[in-house]
Structure formats: C-alpha cells, structure tokens
C-alpha cells in the first residue's frame, strides 16, 4: 500500500519484492529528532504491517493503546530507567556478536546467500540506530499531559469507540512531538455495539452488488469517515505557533482496494488533509489509466522538504494541487 511497488506481472504474493514504505522514508529523514522514530499501529489483531524498511522487511506493529501510552508518557522510576539502560546495552552486545558472526559467514557464501546476508546486516544496522536513539532519550523526562492511561486501556464498547480512542492517542503523540511519523492500520470491523450494523464488515465489503450488503457497507464506511473527521477536528483544534497541528501534519487516509467485492486495486479512494497543501476538494483522475499513487507520495515527500522526484513506481510528481 505505502511502498509503491509496481503490481505489473505479479501473480502470487511471493512474486512481490517489497521496498521501503512512505512512512519509513520520512522517518529516515526526521525520525531521529524525536523520542520515537516512528509508530506503526493497528486496531486489529492479526493484521499485516503497513510499514516496511528499505530491504522490504515489515516493521513490527503495536496493537495495544496502553502499551503506546506507557512508552510515550509514563515515567519510569530510577530503578526502571537503570534496568532499561542495561537492557539497551545488552541489546547492543547481542547485535555486536551477530555482526561478527555474519562477517565470518560472508567469506564462504555465494551471491544469492550474500544478498540474504545483506538484508540481515541492514536489519542489524537499523536496530543499532534505534537502540542509540532509545539510549539518548532514556533519561530525558517524558511530556507532562492531563490524560491518564485508563482513558486508553480496557475493553472498547465497539470498534467506533476503540478507533476514536486510538485517534485521541495519536493526537497526543503528535502534539507532544513524541514522534512525527505514525501509520495507523484500521482493521476489519464487526457489528457489535453499533446501531444499524447487522452483518460483518468483510461480508458487507464482498457484496456481489447485493443492495442490502451495499447499504451495510455504506454504514460501516460512514462511521469510519465520521471517526476520521473527528480526528481532523482534534488536530485543527490543537493550536501551535503559526497555525494548528493539522496545518503542520500531512494526514493520509487510503485503501488498497477501489472495489473490495472484486478485489480491484484501481480507482482507489484517497483522502489527503492538512500539511500546508492548497486543497481543492474532490479531484478525479483518469479512471481507465490511473496515475500511480506513488506520484502523490513523491509530492508528499517534497512537502516534507525531502529532495526527490520519485518514489516506488512513480512516473512523476503529482502537481494537481499546491
């Protein structure tokens, strides 16, 4: 979804050789300036990661709000901080041992195995960078906020309630500059606790043009957009120097399917808000010859101040808005 790897000729999932995702490309540039390089979150258990590093390895996903809250806002005791520093030092030692072992292996490997070894070495380097970043922040005080962990823990009354609590936590993470890069995967929903919903989300999305299922799908999607609109309001209400948090945050809502019933990945519904763009409402593109979504990603990277004219399978930079 966010790597922009071209689908042409792909017949099986294992034909895809993924590469870095949009969020990790941004995190590589600005992630070192905050406590957390990036957050990869998901509201659904078992859902695949949306973030990938530059070797096409998925970035682990966090699915617990309370875990995220504690990581960002709960101060450890002196003993806990010391234990955390010991853990990081131990992690560094393990990585050093792994690097030495890989160097020994490299002498006896063929070309194919050397490529695999390169992937492992890249993962080790990235892990080292994260360890150094965590060490640098371990003894710095965390932001003082009014919210409590109990506001984000416990069982949700419905997925609408749960996703709203995720959005509130994401706003806090951005507002306190604890991180500047977040991916939030919204999983499949169930009808429990939501008036008007009678069948499962997946069942509704594979409607086969059944009007009753389409009506149910519309209800699900309306709730999703109401949640998302509430999130944009939260960002807009959060004032910062020179504007609002929304003015300073690129917010992308996207789906990998234009028609889930047909598993069609063309004519995708894409929503971009905030970020200082000159938004012009709903923009339609050629429905027969779709522009690569990566053209938009390249434009977003430029807005971050990253000098690039391409990303993934882009054929240019989207210029239809400022």
Task: Note the pLDDT tens digit of each residue in 174-211.
Answer: 999 999 999 999 988 999 999 999 999 999 999 999 99
Q: Round to whole Å and give the CA distance between 82 and 293.
A: 46
For residue 89, give its domain range. 76-140
Residue 6 has a pLDDT of: 64
E strand map for 62-207: 182-185
Nearest residue to 322 (alpha-carbon basis) of 281, 280, 294: 280
Residue 102 domain flag: yes
Residue 303 domain flag: no
Domain count for the chain, please give it: 1
Residue 10 has a pLDDT of: 46
Residue 57 has a pLDDT of: 84
Angle at 95 between CA 92 and CA 98, to 5 degrees: 155
Dihedral (C-alpha) 133, 300, 273, 64: value to the nearest 10 degrees? -30
Residue 9 has a pLDDT of: 43
Residue 83 domain flag: yes
Q: Round to whole Å and give the CA distance between 21 and 66.
A: 26
Residue 313 domain flag: no
Angle at 153 between CA 149 and CA 157, to 5 degrees: 140
Give the Cβ contact number of residue 212 at 10 Å.
11
Residues of the chain with pLDDT under 50: 9-11
Token pair in block for residue 90: 């131990």
Which region holds residue 60: left if phi is over 0, alpha if psi is between -120 and 50, else beta? beta
First-last CA distance in the chain: 23
Q: Round to whole Å and give the CA distance between 276 and 244.
A: 10
Give the strand pairing for 182-185 and 239-240: unpaired
Residue 118 domain flag: yes
N residues, the chain:
322
Q: Round to whole Å and give the CA distance between 272 and 310.
A: 19
Residue 247 domain flag: no
Residue 199 domain flag: no
Residue 124 domain flag: yes
Q: What is the DSSP letter of 58?
A: B
């Amino acid at each position: 979804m966010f790597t922009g790897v071209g689908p042409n000729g792909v017949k099986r999932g294992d034909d895809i050789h993924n590469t870095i995702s949009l969020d990790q490309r941004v995190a590589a540039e600005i992630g070192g300036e905050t406590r957390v390089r990036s957050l990869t979150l998901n509201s659904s258990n078992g859902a695949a990661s949306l973030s990938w590093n530059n070797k096409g390895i998925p970035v682990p996903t966090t699915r617990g709000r309370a875990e995220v809250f504690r990581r960002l806002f709960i101060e450890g005791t002196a003993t806990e901080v010391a234990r955390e520093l010991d853990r990081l030092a131990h992690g560094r030692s393990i990585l050093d041992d792994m690097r030495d072992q890989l160097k020994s292996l490299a002498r006896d490997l063929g070309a194919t195995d050397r490529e695999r070894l390169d992937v492992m070495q890249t993962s080790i380097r990235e892990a080292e960078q994260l360890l150094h970043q965590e060490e640098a922040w371990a003894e710095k005080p965390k932001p003082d906020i009014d919210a409590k962990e109990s506001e984000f823990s416990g069982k949700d009354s419905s997925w609408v309630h749960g996703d709203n609590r995720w959005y509130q936590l994401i706003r806090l993470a951005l507002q306190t500059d604890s991180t500047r890069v977040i991916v939030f995967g919204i999983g499949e929903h169930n009808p429990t606790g939501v008036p008007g919903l009678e069948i499962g989300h997946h069942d509704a999305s594979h409607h086969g043009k059944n009007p009753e299922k389409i009506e149910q799908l519309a209800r699900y999607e309306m709730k999703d957009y109401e949640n998302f609109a509430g999130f944009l309001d939260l960002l807009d209400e959060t004032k910062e120097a020179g504007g609002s948090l929304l003015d300073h945050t690129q917010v992308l809502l996207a789906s990998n399917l234009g028609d889930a019933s047909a598993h069609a990945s063309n004519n995708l519904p894409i929503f971009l808000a905030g970020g200082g763009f000159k938004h012009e409402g709903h923009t339609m593109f050629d429905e027969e010859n779709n522009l690569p979504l990566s053209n938009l990603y390249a434009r977003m990277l430029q807005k971050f101040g990253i000098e690039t004219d391409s990303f993934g399978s882009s054929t240019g930079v989207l210029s239809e808005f400022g």
